[in-house]
Every structure is written in structure tokens, then in C-alpha cells.
Amino acid sequence: MARIRNRILSISLLCALTATFILPAAVPVAHAATSSASQAKQAKKAASGKARSSKKPAKVAKSSKTAPAKSSKVASAKKAKPVAAGKKRAAKPVAHKEAAAGIQRASYGPASSLELDDGHLAVRSSVAFVQDLASSDVLFAKNENTVAPIASITKLMTALVVIEAGQPLDEELEITSEDIDTHKFTHSRLAVGTRLSRADMLHLALMSSENRAANALGRHYPGGLPAFVQAMNAKAAALGMQDTRYVEPTGLSSENVSSPRDLAVLVREAARHPLIRHYTTDTEYVVEVKGRPQTFRNTNRLVARPDWDISVSKTGFINEAGRCLVMLATIGGRDLAIVLLDSVGSLTRTADAQRIRQWVQREIGAM
């Protein structure tokens, strides 16, 4: 029994010695093996990372080659848009096919340009016509055969029919719901119920292009609006205005059309009436609307310029017609009919008129 106990004690002592001396030496070896395995994994990952990174530049290079091609396509598309817009603009719908076909879009040259390289006058309005009324010589023409909507230039014919009808100018007329624009919904300061004399209605229609005033004038014509429009077309025919047609007295309809030559005839005829000369060139006028004074101003700012001598003036605008201007102006001692149709921008027609005046003055000075 004692011998067995001694063996057990010897075995325990041997195990203790083994744990003390052999295991500490084995641990670093195991740790080294583990760390070398982890290092091998890290090295493998690094190697695979390098392999991936070596592949990536090839992809980037490929995209860098394709990127310019895409951007060039975008650039070409961006360049193509204005052309498409220009084509769409050129196909602007009007009431008559011949009116649409005759219009060419305005020039977009530098604002400072007065003449083209060949010395001829350059204007931006799509249609331009300048005629000496004394000699009937045409000094300048651009798209002179165009038949196009004329907007409120119509009101010059409205005035001719009203004046030549001989109705009392002091007769009081009333604005009613029939005079409201239900076609283009344009604004007017002449409220329904406003009562003004025929002379005042005519004054505002010519100077400030008041649509309700023009319509009221037509309504109060003997036979009403149908008879008035018939009289407008009859007057145009009598004047030899073969390209002209009216369907209403305001110019809000794009079916009111004319040509530059016909409008020069209209300007000449309008100038024969002192009342039209006065009303179209008056700078401002005050009338009482619903008990309150209202100041109306001329739609053509050139009439207030001291360096201009204008006898007849009328502006017009609807989308189908663009911005229009007709004038009888004395330049260099010559009475000239100036017709500008389908101008782009609010100041283009005025700037074109200035260019025409300078050009005429230079031409006369060179004679």
C-alpha cells in the first residue's frame, strides 16, 4: 500500500515538473505557428489586394476612354437643341398658310451692328419695309411679300372707319361684358360700366392700344360689329390693300393679316386725318374711370423723343404676330413709312427703328 502511494506521488511530481519546464517552451512554438499562419493569411490578402488593385486601373482607363465619347454626345445634343427650337419657332402657327410661309425668323447679330458687310442695313425684325411716301421709292425691304398677323396695327383701320362714319365724337359709350377679351384674356383698366365719349375711346384705342375701347367703338357702329368689320374690309379694298383681311376691330385675332406694302398704304391714309395724327402721337392722356382719374400712356416710347419727328404711330403685339410697329416719320426732310413686323424682344422694334433712321441719315448725307 505504501508502495502504491509512493508511485502515485512520483507520477504527480513528474507531471508537475513537466508542466513547469516543458509547456512554457511549447507555448512560444504554438504562438509562433499561429502568428505565422495569420501572417500568411495577411500576406495572401495583401497579394490578392494587389492583384485587384492592379486590375482596377485597367477599368478606370477604360471608363476614361468612354467618358469623353459620352460627353461629346451630350455636347452635340446641347448644340442641337437651339436648332430644334429655331425650327419650332419658324413654324409658328398663324391663321393663314401664306402668312406663316412668308415669315423668316429674325436675325440675332450683335446689338451694335448697323450694317451688314456689304453695306446694307441689318435689322432684326422678321419683316421690315421703308418707303418714301413722296416718291413711293422703297428704300429698304426685308420679306416684303410676307402676309402676316398685324395685331393692334388693326386699330388704325378701326380709327379710319369710326372717323369716316361721321358719328358724334362727344357721344358717350359704355364698356360692357361684350368688350371683355375672352380669347386671349388680356388686361384692361377700363372696367365694365366705364362710360367715355367716342373721342376718348378712340384716343385710348390709338395711343394706349386699349382693346375694350376699340371693341366698344365697333359695337356702337350702325349695324354692330359685323357691319363694322365689313366696313373695315371695304375700306381696305378701296385703298387697294389686296393682302389685307380683318375679322374684328382690336387686332387680338391672328386672322387680321396684312403685308408691309399694304400697311404703308394704311399709314399714308391715316396721316390724312389730323385726329389720328394727334391721338397716335400723344404721349399721355387722363380719363376718369369709375370716378377716379387714370393716366394712360403711349405704347411707342419714340413719340416722346425730341430727336424724332413722328406723324403717325401704332404698335401691336400678340404671340402669333410678334411685336409690331408702323410709323410715318420725317427723316432728313423725307416722309417715310416704316413698317416692322414680328420683332423679337420688347426693344427690338424700337432699336430697328433707330437703326433705320441712322442709316437713312447716312445715306442722305452721302448724296
User: 263-273: per-residue pLDDT in tens?
Assistant: 999 999 999 99
Confidence at residue 16, expressed as pLDDT on a 0 to 100 scale: 54
Residue 52 — pLDDT band, cuts 50, 70, 90?
Answer: very low
Residue 237 — pLDDT band, cuts 50, 70, 90?
Answer: very high
Q: Which CATH class is domain 97-366?
A: alpha beta
Arithmetic mean of pLDDT, 345-364 = 92
Confidence at residue 4, expressed as pLDDT on a 0 to 100 scale: 55
Arithmetic mean of pLDDT, 322-338 = 97
Q: What percent of the chain has pLDDT over 90?
A: 63
Report which of 103, 108, 56 is spatially closest to residue 257, judged by C-alpha positions: 103
Instruction: Give the span between the Cα atoms of 264 and 183, in whole angstroms.
Output: 28
167 close to 278: Cβ distance less than 8 angstroms: no
Arithmetic mean of pLDDT, 217-242 = 98
Residue 74 — pLDDT band, cuts 50, 70, 90?
Answer: very low
> Hey, which of 3-12, 20-29, 44-53, 325-334 has the most confident mean pLDDT?
325-334
Residue 61: alpha-carbon gap to chain centroid: 45
Confidence at residue 270, expressed as pLDDT on a 0 to 100 scale: 98
Confidence at residue 183, expressed as pLDDT on a 0 to 100 scale: 86
261 close to 144: Cβ distance less than 8 angstroms: yes
Confidence at residue 80, expressed as pLDDT on a 0 to 100 scale: 35
Q: What is the 3-state secondary structure (H, E, C) of the chain?
A: CHHHHHHHHHHHHHHHHHHHHHHHHHHHHHHHHHHHHHHHHHHHHHHHHHHHHHHHHHHHHHHHHHHHHHHHHHHHHHHHHHHHHHHHHHCCCCCCHHHHHHCCCCCCCCCCCCECCCCCECCCCCEEEEEECCCCCEEEEECCCCCEECHHHHHHHHHHHHHHHCCCCCCEEECCHHHCCCCCCCCCCCCCCCEEEHHHHHHHHHHCCCHHHHHHHHHCCCCHHHHHHHHHHHHHHHCCCCCCECCCCCCCCCCCEECHHHHHHHHHHHCCCHHHHHHHHCCEEEEEECCEEEEEECCCHHHHCCCCCEEEEEEEEECCCEEEEEEEEEECCEEEEEEEEEECCCCHHHHHHHHHHHHHHHHHHHC
Confidence at residue 119, expressed as pLDDT on a 0 to 100 scale: 52
**pLDDT for residue 239 is more than 60:** yes
Confidence at residue 196, expressed as pLDDT on a 0 to 100 scale: 97
**pLDDT for residue 49 is more than 60:** no
Q: What percent of the chain has pLDDT over 70?
A: 67
Q: Which residue has the cell 419714340?
A: 302
Confidence at residue 249, expressed as pLDDT on a 0 to 100 scale: 98
Q: What φ, ψ does residue 280 adopt, rounded to 5°?
A: -75, -20
Write out pLDDT tens, residues 84-116. 333 334 334 434 444 444 443 333 333 333 344
Confidence at residue 344, expressed as pLDDT on a 0 to 100 scale: 87
Residue 258: alpha-carbon gap to chain centroid: 23
Write out pLDDT tens, residues 142-199. 999 999 999 999 999 999 999 999 999 999 999 999 999 998 999 999 999 999 999 9
**pLDDT for residue 82 is more than 90:** no
Catalytically active residues, by annotation: 152, 155, 209
Q: Where are the domains of the chain?
A: 97-366
Write out pLDDT tens, residues 278-314. 999 999 999 999 889 999 999 999 999 999 999 999 9
Output the CA–CA distances (angstroms, integers) from residue 202 to 121, 162, 257, in the order listed.
36, 8, 21
Report which of 153, 251, 169, 184 is spatially closest to residue 211, judged by C-alpha positions: 251
